[in-house]
């Protein structure tokens, strides 16, 4: 046993001398168990390649995972999965379509799962292409005070989004931030919707 340890220590010293051209007795102290203690200059990784592994400590090699993305960008793939999860029918994506979707000036009603609802006039729609970051900015007046609320379109807590009223003539620009505190500003939207529903009845 003693001879085998001495031979192992001699082989290790020869290896270090051949690789680094430095006397190993200055850099390492070799223990009887065959482990090398790292010093300040030489990396322990090089010595580990020389020390053989035990059979019971070999790493487990697993099979590679199947390729689901097919070399697609990870962020785009993630957004597609989220869109499929939160909007499987595509109804909400159609709601913000550039041609047939909601425009600034429309009045919409948002109903949540806890049966609360929010009604307001759309003044801006932030569209994110193939992303769940799309949101709608609503404006209303409560007690003559302007109130705004940003509605995330793909919020899982939203039950339904309904277009209540579309004006006959739209104001210019897709984002109508300029109507704040002007003659074009919105009024009490909820009261306006009640009057419109009574007229149609």
Task: Report the alpha-carbon distance of residue 30 to residue 16 in Å, rounded.
Answer: 12
Mean pLDDT of the chain: 77
Average pLDDT of span 27-37: 43
Average pLDDT of span 14-27: 58
Q: H/E/C letters for each residue in 69-92? A: CCCCCHHHHHHHHHHHHHCCCCHH
Average pLDDT of span 154-177: 91
Average pLDDT of span 35-39: 43
Task: Report the alpha-carbon distance of residue 11 to residue 50 in Å, rounded.
Answer: 10
Architecture of domain 74-200: Roll (2.30)
pLDDT of residue 9: 66
Tokens of 200: 């149609």
49-81 CB burial, b ≥16 within 10 A, e <16: eeeeeeeeeeeeeeeeeeeeeeeeeeeeeebee
Question: Confidence class of residue 159 from pLDDT cuts 50, 70 and 90?
Answer: very high
CA nearest neighbour of 121 among 146, 88, 96, 152: 146
Task: Report the alpha-carbon distance of residue 60 to residue 51 in Å, rounded.
Answer: 19
Higher pLDDT among residues 10 and 73, named by residue: 73
pLDDT of residue 42: 45
193: left (phi over 0), alpha (psi -120 to 50) or beta: alpha
- Extents of the domains making up the chain: 74-200
pLDDT tens figures, 105-154: 999 999 999 989 999 999 999 988 777 889 999 999 988 888 999 999 99
- 3-state SS, residue 53: coil
Q: Per-residue pLDDT for 83 more than 80? A: yes
Output phi, psi for 123, to 5 deg: -115, -10
| Burial category of 4 from C-beta neighbours within 10 Å (exposed 0-12, middle 13-18, buried 19 and up) | exposed
* Least reliable range by pLDDT among 36-45, 112-121, 159-168, 172-181: 36-45
pLDDT of residue 32: 37
């Amino acid at each position: 046993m003693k001879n085998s340890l001495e031979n192992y220590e001699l082989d290790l010293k020869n290896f270090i001398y051949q690789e680094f051209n430095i006397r190993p007795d200055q850099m390492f102290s070799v223990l009887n168990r065959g482990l090398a203690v790292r010093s300040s200059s030489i990396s322990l990784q090089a010595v580990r390649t020389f020390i053989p592994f035990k059979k019971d400590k070999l790493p487990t090699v697993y099979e590679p995972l199947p390729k689901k993305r097919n070399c697609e960008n990870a962020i785009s793939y993630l957004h597609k999965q989220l869109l499929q999860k939160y909007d499987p029918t595509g109804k909400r994506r159609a709601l913000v379509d550039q041609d047939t979707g909601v425009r600034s000036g429309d009045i919409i009603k948002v109903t949540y799962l806890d049966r609360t609802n929010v009604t307001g006039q759309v003044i801006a729609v932030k569209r994110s292409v193939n992303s769940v970051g799309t949101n709608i900015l609503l404006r209303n007046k409560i007690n003559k005070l302007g109130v705004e609320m940003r509605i995330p379109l793909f919020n899982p807590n939203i039950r339904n989004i309904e277009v209540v009223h579309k004006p006959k003539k739209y104001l210019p620009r897709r984002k109508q931030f300029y109507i704040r505190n002007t003659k074009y500003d919105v009024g009490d939207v909820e009261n306006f919707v009640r009057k419109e529903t009574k007229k149609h009845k």
